[in-house]
Amino acid sequence: MEEKIVRDEALVKKAEEMIEKQEFGERRLSGIPYWITFLLAIAFSCFQLYTAFFGVLTSTLQRSIHLTFAITLCFLFYPFSKKSKRKSIHVTDFVLAVAAGAAVIYVTVFYEDLVKRIGDPTSLDLAMGVTAILLILEASRRAVGWPLVIITGLFVIYGLFGPYFPGVLAHRGYSFRRIVDHLYLTSEGIFGIPLWVSSTFVYAFVLFGAIFERTGAGEFLMKLAMSLVGHTRGGPAKVSVVASAFMGTISGSGVANTATIGTLTIPLMKKVGFKPELAGGIDTAAGGNGQIMPPVMGAAAFVMAEFLGIPYLDVCIAAALPAVIDQLALLGAVHLLATKYGFKGVPRAQLPRFLPTLASGLHFLVPILVLLYALVIQRLTPLTSAAMAIAVASTIFLIRGLLISAGFIRLQSSEGKPAEAQRSAAAFQDSIRKLIDAMFNAGRSMAAIGVTCACAGMVVGMVSLTGAGLNMTNILVEMSFGNVYLAMVLTMVACLILGMGVPTTPNYVIMATIMAPALIAMKPDTPLIAAHLFVFYFGILADGTPPVCLAAYAAAGIADADPFKTGLESFKLDMRTFLLPYMFITAPQMLLIGLDPGIMGVLEASWIFITSSIGMYALAAGMQGFLIDDDTWFERILLLAVAFCLVKPGIYSDIIGLAGFAMIYYLQKRRVGVRVAVAA
């Protein structure tokens, strides 16, 4: 008899607390402070919904109003320090919230006057600019810590004292007045591209994800993954990978994916034999992978489309093949681990059945299909596509609530019997409440995203003002001795180090501004999107890289494991992904660039997919030390070489790689056969 899989309530609560702390701030408000923040967050969502459905405002006005809400909420949701009160808001934070909001909304209120005096700010303009800059830095510190603030501060100092820097770093230097004017009163600083993307595309997709989460789509996707792979070897670990890939289509947050999926899969992994650190490491690696899955790839992907001046769909198309290959490689690595250590799956009797599960959640798939139709078939903008998906998801959810209230749909209780109590107006009211909660959660989540995008915009502004990008190109050329491969390694290291303390989006913005142009300068035939995806991937990988790996801390908390060891296990699994970005630069066919538009292009893409998938599987086997038997040291080295040959598109490298893989498989198969014969 089929058993219902139930999440441990304590783990669910712990995961929710982790997500809230990371995504929404540490405060747990009640009373008047709660209602103040609630109304502000709802107003924030209403403004964003209005502009999504009826058209965005003039770019500066859209960004200014968006940041006003974000920075105000940031000071209300994020305390000054860990010692600050969690259930109330100190009067100082109210004052800072008002001051920050006033300094930012000033641009909207006096927009026409500011346009008339571009380049000649008044003393009041400068005072408001300084206030905005300082409070954006403080809000960013509260939301994501010191690293982003320090980096931004260093770029401002670099702008002020340019003549005093040595060698290629030196520049003419700029006055305090010029820097404030550039950062505050132009579209190349605070109100630059990162904030534009945050105020349009990102908010819409965050709200879409919040609605899905509140309407139960996450649980449906989890059950669907359980029904597909839960019974296989190491089934719960594979469920983590598949469910994270599903969630990646609607959520761009690695930490949220890790914590949400981990509440069910980590206990099941431990139950079938996985050690706590390994279970947490698998969940961390799977959660991070969700950020590279189209159509929703996190805020950084939307910023990338704006930086490159191309449709977001083009980013999705370029990223699609590597994303699927990477997901299959992680599944392969998990399978190898399960086979190596003899881990079993969950008995089928304890799992939901696929067809009934799919049928029960078909209404969740409709908004996703609408989103894909709008993006891929109609080629509408991401904002319009997300708005359509939000409207469809909300309408379906409300209609379903009405049908439950009227008794046309019967829910099942935990014992499998009709839940007659749900046949009341409470079901429809609950649907409305959950939609309002989704709007509230979206506003909370966007507070930190909006502020950090503004902070990252200041870095971009200082780079454009000082010409630091050209200087970085010269430095990278000198440090790499003109070798593009060494330059890629140095860029990778910089992305990983920066990403240890800076979230994915500002990490991408900074590296795309100063490092991506350097890579292109060293290899001029490199497609722009290849260089940008290179830094994007390593920014995501930094989330699971020790010693600072936020997603690993979330998984370790659920698994009752050591966070550092959990991060190491995640890093071992992520090593399979480290090879892919190098192929973006050296073999852009991986991104479907330069392929024939006809049937030959389809065949070539299919061949790249097959050989690269085998290559990534070989890489996982080399990293895990197991294919169908324990690898010898020679086989491990050969498997790594095979992986490189197969992942890099090319007929000769593919032939060599396939021959090498077949040879290792044959040797291990014969070795296992001899051992079985001797034992018999």
Three-state SS letters, 466-493: HCHHHHHHHHHHHHCCCCHHHHHHHHHH
Whether residue 576 is predicted with pLDDT greater than 60 in this model: the reply is: yes
Query: Which DSSP helix (H) or strand (E) runs through 393?
Result: helix 382-406
Residues 6+ away with beta carbon under 8 Å from 450: 66, 67, 69, 70, 71, 74, 195, 198, 199
Average pLDDT over residues 122-148: 94
CA nearest to 293, candidates 324, 328, 259: 324
Split at pLDDT 50, 70, 90, the class of 472 is confident
529 versus 9: which is more confidently predicted? 529
Q: Is the Cβ–Cβ distance between 327 and 245 less than 8 Å?
A: yes
Q: How many other CB atoms are there within 10 angstroms of residue 318's CB atom?
A: 24
Average pLDDT over residues 261-278: 88
Whether residue 414 is predicted with pLDDT greater than 60 in this model: the reply is: no
**Token duo for residue 634:** 């020679």
Identity at 631, one-letter amino acid code: D
The domains of the chain are located at: 9-190, 195-300+315-443, 467-679
Percent of the chain with pLDDT over 70: 91
Question: What is the distance between the alpha carbons of residues 85 and 76, in angstroms, rounded to a whole number?
Answer: 12
Whether residue 106 is predicted with pLDDT greater than 60 in this model: the reply is: yes
146 versus 504: which is more confidently predicted? 146
Whether residue 1 is predicted with pLDDT greater than 60 in this model: the reply is: no
Question: What is the distance between the alpha carbons of residues 121 and 110, in angstroms, rounded to a whole number?
Answer: 12
Kindly provide the residue ranges of all beta strands, DSSP E only, lying in 440-559, ordered along the sequence: none
Q: Is the Cβ–Cβ distance between 206 and 219 less than 8 Å?
A: no
Between CA 538 and CA 324, with CA 315 as vertex, the angle to 5 degrees is 65
Say if residue 325 is exposed, middle or buried (CB neighbours under 10 Å; 0-12, 13-18, 19+): buried
Q: How many other CB atoms are there within 10 angstroms of residue 331's CB atom?
A: 21
Q: Is the Cβ–Cβ distance between 543 and 523 less than 8 Å?
A: no
Instruction: Write the CA distances from 305 to 296, 298, 504, 636, integer angstroms.
Output: 13, 12, 15, 39
As a whole number, the mean pLDDT across the chain is 87
Identity at 508, one-letter amino acid code: Y
pLDDT of residue 2: 43
Q: What angle, 0 to 180 degrees and rounded to 10, lies between the N-to-C axes of helices 299-308 and 504-514?
A: 20
**Token duo for residue 450:** 């909006």
Question: What is the distance between the alpha carbons of residues 293 and 283, in angstroms, rounded to a whole number?
Answer: 16
Question: What is the distance between the alpha carbons of residues 458 and 513, in angstroms, rounded to a whole number?
Answer: 11
Residues 6+ away with beta carbon under 8 Å from 536: 300, 301, 304, 508, 512
Average pLDDT over residues 61-87: 90
What is the CA 513 to chain-centroid distance, rounded? 19
Task: Give the model confidence (pLDDT) of 143-181 as tens digits.
Answer: 888 989 999 999 999 999 989 988 888 888 899 999 999
CA nearest to 201, candidates 19, 21, 367, 66: 66
Question: What is the distance between the alpha carbons of residues 25 and 440, in angstroms, rounded to a whole number?
Answer: 13
CA nearest to 590, candidates 640, 545, 544, 654: 654
Q: How many other CB atoms are there within 10 angstroms of residue 604's CB atom?
A: 16
- Most confidently predicted of 124-138, 495-509, 628-642: 124-138
Task: Give the model confidence (pLDDT) of 191-218 as tens digits.
Answer: 999 999 999 988 998 899 888 888 888 7
**Token duo for residue 448:** 């930190």
User: Of the given ranges (11-25, 102-116, 134-148), which has the lowest mean pLDDT?
Assistant: 11-25
Instruction: Write the CA distances from 646 to 181, 219, 611, integer angstroms.
Output: 52, 37, 5
User: Of the given ranges (248-257, 333-342, 525-534), which has the lowest mean pLDDT?
Assistant: 248-257
Residue reference for tokens 């294919």: 627
Split at pLDDT 50, 70, 90, the class of 424 is low
651 versus 84: which is more confidently predicted? 651
Residues in the chain: 680
Instruction: Write the CA distances from 574 to 95, 283, 326, integer angstroms.
Output: 44, 11, 10
Whether residue 119 is predicted with pLDDT greater than 90 in this model: the reply is: no
pLDDT of residue 488: 92
Average pLDDT over residues 401-410: 77
pLDDT of residue 412: 56
Split at pLDDT 50, 70, 90, the class of 636 is very high
Question: What is the distance between the alpha carbons of residues 575 and 536, in angstroms, rounded to a whole number?
Answer: 16
HEC profile of 95-146? HHHHHHHHHHHHHHHCHHHHHHCCCCCCHHHHHHHHHHHHHHHHHHHHHHCH
